[in-house]
Every structure is written in C-alpha cells, then in structure tokens.
Structure 1
Amino acid sequence: MNIFDFKIKEKFPNESVLKNPEIYGVFSGYNLPSFVKDWLIQRNSTLEGKIDKENLRLFLNKHIAQKNKKTIKGTLINDYVPIKVLARILIEPDIRSGVIKFSIPDLGIGHNEGVIPNYIAEKYPELKGGEIWGVVKLSYNPPDNGKTGFIEIVDYKSFKPYEVDLEYFKQKRREFEVSEWIDLLIRSMEYNPEGFESLQQKILFISRLLIFVEPNLNMFELAPKGTGKSYVFNNLSKYGWVISGGVISRAKLLYDISRKTPGLLTLYDFVAIDEVETIKFTDESELRGALKNYLESGTFSVANYKGESSAGLMVLGNIPLTQERKPVNNRYFVNLHKFFNDPALLDRFHGFIEGWKLPRMREDLILRGYALNVEYFSEILHELRTESQYRNVVQKLVDVPKDADTRDKNAIIKLSTAYLKLLFPHVESPEDIDKSDFKLYCLEQAIKMREIIKTQISYIDPEFSREVPEIRIRE
C-alpha cells in the first residue's frame, strides 16, 4: 500500500475496500455488478484487508446460483425445499390478473413463472414494481385444480448493507485536497488515477458521475469502444438502468397504456441508452414529442395519465476517429439515428462528454489499492441527488446576464451544481469554497459542456445560435 491507500483506509475505515484483481477473480462465472462484489468482499475481509476466499466461495455457491441456474427450478419442483438466493429481481404488476409477477433472469426464472404473494408485497413495498437486488427465499407451488404451478417469494431481505450518513461523508471530504478527492472518486469508479495523463482528463472521466448526483440531468457521450462508458453505468449503481440495443418506445420509457404500468424513466435515478446507433425507435414522432416535454420539465402526459420523475437520460454512442484520435466529422451526431437529429430535442440535453479524449482501457488503469466500497459510494451518490443547498450556493456564486437564454442558463447551473456535489460535497455556503476553485472545477467545465451541445445544434439548424451566456463569478 502507498501513502494514499493508508489515508483512504484511515479516513473511511468501514467504507473502503481493497481492490485486488487477483482476489476479484473468485467472481469468475458470476454475472454480478461491482456494488454486489464489493459487499461480498468486505463481509469476507479482515481488518487488515485479507480475504477469506473459501468462505466467499461457499457463499457464492450457496446463495448465488448463477452457475447452476438450470438446476434451480428442478430443485424447487422435485425437492419442495425453499431456496435462498441473492439476486437481481425484475418485478411487474399484471393489471389484468391482479397479480404481481417477477422474474430472475440470471436463474432462468421467467416473468410468467414467478409470483409475489400480497402479504409479502404489503410487508416490503419495494416488491411492488421495478428492479431490485435482494436476498429472496423461493418456494414452489405445484399445479392445483387446473391452475398452473408457479414459484413464489416467501421471504425477502433488501440488499442495502449501508445506512448512509451523508454528514459523515461531507466532513471526511474536508480532510482531502481537491486533487486527492478527484483521485478517490476515480478509484471508487474502479480505475487507477495514475493511468490518466492530466487533471483535465481526470475531470472528464468523473463527469460520467454527474447524472448520478443531479436529478433531471440529460447528457450525451460519444466515444470509441474500449473507453469504459458502458462499464460505469452498468456496474456502479443499482439506481440506474441501461438499455443496450433493441427497441425503445414511449411505453418502455414513460408509460405503457395497455399494461397501465410506468416506464423506466419513472423507476430509476437515470436511464442510459447504450450503443444508441443500434437502437430502433417505434412511433418516433409520438415518442419524440413526449420526450421533449419530459426532458424540459420532468413531467409527461400519456393518454389520461400524467407522470413525473427526477430521472436523467444519458445517451451513449460510438464515434469514428482519425488516427490522431479526433472525430472524423466535426458534426458529432451525423452517424446517430435520425431521431436525435432534431434541434429542439437536442437543445434539452444539458451537456456533452467528449469521450474520445479519455484513454482506452490499459493495464495501468486497473486499480490495485483502496477505494470506497462501490455499494457505499452508490448510496452516497443517490443521497446527494436530493440535497438542494448546492444549487442555492451556485446561484449565489454566479452572475447571469439578463438576456441569457433560459435553457442555456439552466443547463450551466445544473452542470455546475452536479460538479459541486461531486467535488465539494462539504460546501454549505458560498463562503465555504474558493471562488477560483469553483470557477475551474465547476463553472468552466459546465460552460464547455453546454457549448458543445449548442455548436452541434447549430450545424443541424443554423438558426440556432452557438453562443452561450457569459456567466461569470460574482464579485
């Protein structure tokens, strides 16, 4: 361990975990996100960071049956013995039958094979819809009087190993320099900060976390393959959902009229559309209209249903580069689906991440050292979303021209607020932060991200100005 490892372990003794690729090899064959792996590593670790690999393997074999998923249903049917597993559960109420159904894809349990009894749903409200991680006890109900057999959840324990003390986290931030804190964030994203070439590259990398901490933030990132954009959104939080390929409809994103069920944007902190160039859209004009309203205000109307949500939308795509690793075309959206070549829709996205400026995954980017436990880290990011004082601080720190475009102003304020939450979570008033730090790490980054969106819109429609308001630090 180096000096920084010791500092992380000292300041976050119960919330940090040693990242060692050799140790994490025990999870080979298990489709587990990082927040689950870290929890399992920590519960099988000594204070000195040594791992009880044998005990960890026993837990995996007993409670995470992904390797033996073909035998799960057979065991339930033949042995009539309840099975307890830690798993990802997809829950969808069936309006027509009045039954709450579930599936566990990793165990081969389909949507029409799982039922959640009413008494369990009443006891655990999170089992009434959406995606959750938890420890469930499964039991089999055989066919009876012409009714088909089904698997039911007879007990449940939420997977939330941490009760987050946000004030504790804020106080600990005061004990780190800005550069150290940036490195801790990168480590907690499971990357080695020493593998990055510059401070600006590090800031660009942690910009992927903005949508984790700021509600109703909408962003684009285009990057070549191998820069880790999919990994961040798939592995760092159970509060997000990633759509990879397939078909996207208004029903899927916002509200399904036939099933009378809310869409993905109402269930999560953010929804990321990955490999967007491969996505197909149904009823494009209808979806685009509904999405414009949602991205603008966080509300939407479908038929007689009115909904609202604080979820942000992240659009991820690939972009062709020259040998110098610069975009082949200065019109970044030219290769995307025509759905996104609508200036009014793009104008509702707040910022753009130039992912081609980030390094491809290399050996020197693999973390070997201490970082915040991903499960703890994801809970902190989730809690920061509802902290309203940061926006007030930002508004007191800046001067906005009276003739500023409202969307531009809102975008820059939102992005600056998100950077403030990430980098300076201990700040409670304008006096708590050096104005030059706020300008460098928050405001200038936000303005640049918004400028890219405006420039790209102007290429599609020259009537749109590429200028952004000259928002300055208040004297």
Structure 2
Amino acid sequence: MESSDKTFNLNEKLNKYFAGRVVRKDLTKKIKEGANVPVYVLEYLLGMYCATDDEDSINEGVERVKKILSDNFVRPDEAEKVKSKIRELGQYTVIDKVTVKLNEKKDIYEAEFSNLGLKGVEIAPHYVKEYEKLLSGGIWCILKMSYYYDEEVKEISPFNISKLTPIQMPNMDIEEIFNGRRYFTKDEWIDVLLRSIGMEPTQLKENVKWHLLCRMIPLVENNYNLCELGPRGTGKSHIYKEISPNSILISGGQTTVANLFYNMARRKIGLVGLWDVVAFDEVAGITFKDKDGIQIMKDYMASGSFARGKEEKNASASMVFVGNINQSVDVLLKTSHLFDPFPEAMAYDTAFFDRMHYYIPGWEIPKFRPEYFTDEYGFITDYLAEFFREMRKRSYTDAFDKYFKLGNNLNQRDVIAVRKTVSGLVKLIYPNGEFKKEDIEEILRYALVGRRRVKEQLKKIGGMEFYDVHFSYIDKESFNEEFVTVPEQGGGKLIPEGIGKPGHVYTVGHSHSGMIGVYKIETEVVNGSGKFERTGLGSNRDAKESINIAFNYFKANKKNISGTISVQNNDFLMHIQDLQGIGITSELSLAAFIALCSGALRKPVQSQMVILGSMSIGGTINKVEELASTLQVCFDAGAKKILLPMASASDISTVPPELFAKFQIAFYQSPEDAVFKALGVE
C-alpha cells in the first residue's frame, strides 16, 4: 500500500506544482499503440487537451486527440486518400514529418513529406529561416495544406503549405522548474524524470535508475560523449528517437563528413550544428565514406570544433554510441575488451575511446517488460525536452570542488570526463543547484566508475600508456581518500590479503595467446611413495614440460633447501588455476619449484607475493618479458610483494616509477635463493 500511496502523493504534487505541464503516461501508451508517431508528437497533443487530473476532462481530451490523429495524422498507406481530401476540400490539416531542400535551379525551397509521400512542394523561405532543422533531418509539423492546379505551370506542385506549426513547445520558463523542484525530495524528483520518459521507477533497481538518468546527460550537457553497449531490448536508443525532438538517431551507421560536420559545397554545417544530440544506433555499422571521417570525429569529440577547408567550426552536439554486445560480459572481458563491438577501424583506436566521457554498462539494465512502463503522471515530453535544452546553457562542472578533489591517477581527459558527468547529473537532479555534500559525493562516485570503465578498456587495448586506472577522490575536510571499483572487473582482488596455505603460490605470465594472466599453483604434500600428479594444464605440452622441469629440479636439489625434505615418503599433488580464464602459461617452472618446497617444508610463502621468472632444466633463470605490463597485472590482481630475477633489473627503467613504487621487490639469483626469499628465510 505504501508504494501506491507514494505514487498518489507524487501525482498530486506534480499536478499541483506543474499544473498543465504533466500528463498521465498510460494515455500515451494507449494511443501510441495505434499511431506510429514519436512520443513527443503524441504528448504535444495530449498536453493541449489532457494536461489535468480531472477524469472527465481527460476522457474528453483523449477522444479529441484520437480524432485529430485519425483525421489528420497521415498513415503512409492512406497517403492517396489524404491527398484526395486536400484536393476535394480545397484545404485540409495534416500531421507529418517535413524535410526541406533548396532547389537552386528554380531558386525555391521544396518540402518533402515523410508519410504523405509528396515531393517538390514549395515552402515559404521564412519557415526555413525560422526552423533550420527543416533542412537537416526534418521536423514533425501540423500543416494547413491547400490545392491549386494551374494548367499553365506544369513543373510546380499543385499542393501548397498555407500554415506550418512545428510540434514543439514555443517557450519555457526555467524558473518554473527551479521553484517546483524545491517541493520534491531527491528520490521523488528522480522518479518524476523517469516517469516522464515512460519508465516505472518502483520496478527498477537503484543502479538501473542511475543508468537511465545517465542516458539523459547528452541532452543537458554540451559536447558530451557517451557509449552504451549491452543486450538487445533494453531501450538504448529509445530516448534519442522518441523522447526529444532535439536529438537525431542515425540508424545503420553509414554517414559522410558533409552530412555530419560540414558540407563545403553548400557551406552548411552538418548535423552536429543543428541537433543537441547525434546518436549512432548499432555502432558495429559505423562507416564513413570519407577517409578522414574518424579523424574529424575524434577532433570534434575532444574539442567541440573541427577544421574544414580554411575554417574552424564549433558545435555543441553531444555524441552517443549505442550498440549490442552479443556474448556475455565475462567472456568479452577475458577474450577481448568492452569496446569490441565497434567496427574494426575504431576497435583498437585508443585515441577515439579516450574521448568517451562515460560507458553505461548496458548489461546491468533489464530487458524491458510491460511492468517497467509507467501509468502514472510525468512531464509532457516536450516540456521535458525544453527543460533539458535550457539546461545546456548552464554549467555545474565545478559542483564538487567545494568538498572534494580528484586523486592523482586521473589525467586531464579523465578529469574533464568526470566533471562533465557530474555537471550533467546535477542539471538533471538538482537543476536549481541546491544540494548537500552527500548528494554530490553520490554523483561523483557514479561519474568516476563510468570513466574508469573506459580507462580499464584503454589499458587492455593500449597497455602501459593507460596504467593509471585506480581512480579516487579526496575529502577536503578529512583528507580521506576513497577509491572506486568497476563491478565487472571484480571488486575483490585475485590475490587476497593474509598468509596463504603452504604450497600455494601466485605467478603472472604470458598465455599462449600472448595475454598476460594471473595463475595460482596449489600443492598438497601427503604421505605416499614419491608420486607426482598435476592437474589443470589441459593439453598444453609446454606447460606440462615446465612443471616436469620443476619436479625434476626439486628431486635433484632438495638437499640444498633442507635436509628434512623427503620425496620417497610423500606424494605431491599439484593443481594449476588459470584465474582469469585466458589460457594456461608455460612460464611455471620456478613458481612450481617454490610451491613444491613450500609444501614439503609446511612453510607458507609471504602474503600477497607474486613470483616472476622461469628457469631451465639446469636451473638457469630466464628474465621476465614485458616487465612493465606484467607488473601492472600484478598490481591489479592485488599483489604487494614481487619476487624478481636479477636478470630483469636492467628492464626496471621501462616501468613507470609510480607503479614500481607500489611493491616491495626482492631480487633472486638462483632457484634456491628464490625459495628462501619467497618463504622469508634469510
């Protein structure tokens, strides 16, 4: 009962403080199912006739809207019938999407009707000047059409546009939002925003609500670059296509520099200059006909400007990239990276992905079922869109500076990304700028996680250049530093704190695919007759060979370690675990030798230690390949101590000093030396 009471109160509050600006969303759903118009077109009409909570007026208004839609909305299959009506009646009102082109041969503007199928209809230049978007992508309008056929003039369409009204709210008083917001709690206001886009917040988990809010940031924040990849059916592109008349969705992905940025022949700015958001549906299909397309896009995403010809152009459109991940995230993380669905031209371009300000984890959003859609009151989407548009003129990028500063792992791009996300969420949740310290901390944490997700993938693609992924923020009062983790990377460390069991050791090495992974060797020593069993190696012959080298060296040199070790009276059972599932490594010999000694002596290896390096059959030590990347993997796995062959000392200059300083490092000269240092025996 409590939840329906809250709903009732929220509906009452909305109708009280935003009278005439809200609509019951079940009305939209009912009519939407019968008419293929965007939500904002439908709610523009509902807003005119049903923006009330009086049941009789609502029913009357709905009937009126239905009648307008059935009489005036042009269904593509009834286009001929409507054309005939315009001719027979001489004048008729239609609702359709209109796009305009300049016909330079005749020096007139010509309109094309999306559903009516008319082309070449002359349109007065003042409409084009007033509503520039008619020229790019087109807008939904209510039009009074007339018909006049002149036998003398064969080439001009007999259809005329007597009056054109775009379906958009004419004006917006932002103070109304600022004042109204004060009567709602944070949670109530978030629920209002989600209901306004048609979702039912009482059915959604807290993190899902935040992700849905994040989808709105590009609509309120200039030059915001957002990426969302996830399963199908989670409504990734819905908001950009249906909810706002200020965003355009490019389906299919193929585009040109002229269309997107600047047409040099016509000297006209492209989509980024005319829309608030340019969203690419299905990132896998993004292609440019021009070779320099991706380069110009990178330039634009970094600075909001781009050079064409001799001119430098500025625009404020945000870029959104949505697409599908077809396999599970676990598999993707083990075999590749989370930007994998992007086309090949981009998939390994770190500079392109570094410009992403946030990555929404689409796999955390449920597939939408009927109960996720609301029947309660929310803002008319057109009112919502105008509120979003108005907020683009403001900035809250410094919102957290009073209370927090960012940790030293964030570079300039990371800082910009986090500030933009914070600014966007403040505009949505606290548009009047009234918030407390804990409010802004919640937003800051969310902003850091999404940017860290981008950085983690950059590290996978670009290696050491992006090693600093340990994002944090510092409380200016207490100087307390809080770190954020990314859920799918696994918050818990692979190498736990505390002393492990004897015979259990960790090592890091290259798998046969070339990726660097973390491996755990578990050795049990039980009474027996000298048998040696190993599991977990699959059919990898090189790995088996390296374990055999370890056991043979152990048998031959055990007395150098301790006279108490007996091989004949014990059995040795060894299991190798590939902790990240990337395939087994063959660099196991030295770590396995230490594991055998540790198990036989019943002495554990030092806590959070990783053993690096391998050895030959005669005990010659091999140095570590790709030392810097290997140490980065050690750090990410939770290692605090590193056992390193002396032969690798010459490679230390390749390791960033900040990374090297994170460990206690012990060098060893020989396998025996390594055992003593691993067990902490001096």
TM-score for the superposition, normalised by structure 1:
0.89
> CA contact under 8 A between 2:410 and 2:468: conserved in structure 1?
no
For the pair 1:296 / 2:302, whether they are aligned, the reply is: yes
Q: What is aligned with 1:42?
A: 47
> CA contact under 8 A between 2:288 and 2:294: conserved in structure 1?
no
In structure 2, how many angstroms separate the alpha carbons of the residues matched to 1:127 and 1:421? 25
Deviations 1:116-150 (Å, cap 9, x if unpaired)?
A: 2235546x354763333332223446466565122
> Which residue among 246, 250, 257 is the counterpart of 1:243?
250
Q: What is aligned with 1:444?
A: 445
In structure 2, how many angstroms separate the alpha carbons of the residues matched to 1:72 and 1:259? 34
Residue 236 (structure 1) shift: 0.9
Deviations 1:262-296 (Å, cap 9, x if unpaired)?
A: 2111110001001122343322x400111111111
Q: What is aligned with 2:324?
A: 318
In structure 2, how many angstroms separate the alpha carbons of the residues matched to 1:376 and 1:359? 27
After TM superposition, list the pairs within 5 Å mapping 1:38-77 onto structure 2: 38-45=43-50, 47-49=53-55, 50-52=58-60, 53-66=62-75, 68-76=78-86
Residue 105 (structure 1) shift: 0.8
For the pair 1:472 / 2:474, whether they are aligned, the reply is: yes
> Which residue among 163, 185, 188 is the counterpart of 2:171?
163
For residue 440 of structure 2, give the secondary structure of its aligned residue in structure 1.
helix
Residue 90 (structure 1) shift: 1.8
1:262–1:435 CA distance, 2 compared to 1 (3 A) = same
1:297–1:158 CA distance, 2 compared to 1 (3 A) = same
Q: What is aligned with 2:436?
A: 434
Q: Which moved more, 1:300-309 or 1:181-190?
A: 300-309
Letter in 2 for 1:177: T
In structure 2, how many angstroms separate the alpha carbons of the residues matched to 1:397 and 1:129? 46
Deviations 1:207-242 (Å, cap 9, x if unpaired)?
A: 100111100000100011110112121111000000
After TM superposition, list the pairs within 5 Å mapping 1:101-140 onto structure 2: 101-110=110-119, 113-118=120-125, 120-121=127-128, 124-126=130-132, 129-130=135-136, 131-140=138-147
After TM superposition, list the pairs within 5 Å mapping 1:208-219 onto structure 2: 208-219=215-226
Letter in 2 for 1:172: G
Q: Which moved more, 1:135-144 or 1:456-465?
A: 135-144
Q: What is aligned with 2:639?
A: none
In structure 2, how many angstroms separate the alpha carbons of the residues matched to 1:403 and 1:121? 49
Letter in 2 for 1:464: E
> CA contact under 8 A between 1:117 and 1:152: conserved in structure 2?
no
> CA contact under 8 A between 1:319 and 1:327: conserved in structure 2?
no
1:87–1:397 CA distance, 2 compared to 1 (3 A) = farther
1:335–1:129 CA distance, 2 compared to 1 (3 A) = closer
In structure 2, how many angstroms separate the alpha carbons of the residues matched to 1:200 and 1:414? 19
Deviations 1:144-197 (Å, cap 9, x if unpaired)?
A: 65651224433222333353211121122122111111111111110111111x
> CA contact under 8 A between 1:84 and 1:136: conserved in structure 2?
yes
Root-mean-square deviation over aligned CA pairs: 2.5
For residue 136 of structure 1, give the secondary structure of its aligned residue in structure 2.
strand
In structure 1, how many angstroms separate the alpha carbons of the residues matched to 2:403 and 2:91? 58
After TM superposition, list the pairs within 5 Å mapping 1:25-424 onto structure 2: 25-45=30-50, 47-49=53-55, 50-52=58-60, 53-66=62-75, 68-76=78-86, 78-79=87-88, 81-95=90-104, 97-110=106-119, 113-118=120-125, 120-121=127-128, 124-126=130-132, 129-130=135-136, 131-140=138-147, 142=149, 147-150=154-157, 151-161=159-169, 163-196=171-204, 198-283=205-290, 285-322=291-328, 326-330=329-333, 331-341=337-347, 342-388=349-395, 390-400=396-406, 404-424=410-430
Deviations 1:14-72 (Å, cap 9, x if unpaired)?
A: 21111226x64334442211112122223232541422243222211332222622333
In structure 2, how many angstroms separate the alpha carbons of the residues matched to 1:120 and 1:206? 35
For residue 7 of structure 1, give the secondary structure of its aligned residue in structure 2.
helix
Q: Which has the larger radius of gyration?
A: 2
1:167–1:25 CA distance, 2 compared to 1 (3 A) = same
> CA contact under 8 A between 1:100 and 1:128: conserved in structure 2?
no
For residue 155 of structure 1, give the secondary structure of its aligned residue in structure 2.
strand
In structure 2, how many angstroms separate the alpha carbons of the residues matched to 1:158 and 1:335? 37
1:30–1:178 CA distance, 2 compared to 1 (3 A) = same
1:69–1:385 CA distance, 2 compared to 1 (3 A) = same
Letter in 1 for 2:359: F
Q: Which moved more, 1:203-212 or 1:245-254?
A: 245-254
Letter in 2 for 1:217: Y
Residue 106 (structure 1) shift: 2.1
For the pair 1:3 / 2:13, whether they are aligned, the reply is: no
In structure 1, how many angstroms separate the alpha carbons of the residues matched to 2:455 and 2:403? 24
1:179–1:127 CA distance, 2 compared to 1 (3 A) = closer
1:4–1:121 CA distance, 2 compared to 1 (3 A) = closer
Residue 75 (structure 1) shift: 4.3
In structure 1, how many angstroms separate the alpha carbons of the residues matched to 2:188 and 2:126? 49
Residue 327 (structure 1) shift: 4.6
For the pair 1:15 / 2:21, whether they are aligned, the reply is: yes
Q: Which moved more, 1:231-240 or 1:62-71?
A: 62-71
Letter in 1 for 2:79: K
5+ residue gaps, structure 1 = none
1:83–1:393 CA distance, 2 compared to 1 (3 A) = same
Residue 101 (structure 1) shift: 2.7
In structure 1, how many angstroms separate the alpha carbons of the residues matched to 2:447 and 2:383? 27
In structure 1, how many angstroms separate the alpha carbons of the residues matched to 2:468 and 2:475? 18
> CA contact under 8 A between 2:254 and 2:285: conserved in structure 1?
no
For residue 322 of structure 2, give the secondary structure of its aligned residue in structure 1.
strand
TM-score for the superposition, normalised by structure 2:
0.63
> CA contact under 8 A between 2:323 and 2:341: conserved in structure 1?
no
> CA contact under 8 A between 1:135 and 1:156: conserved in structure 2?
yes
Residue 257 (structure 1) shift: 2.8
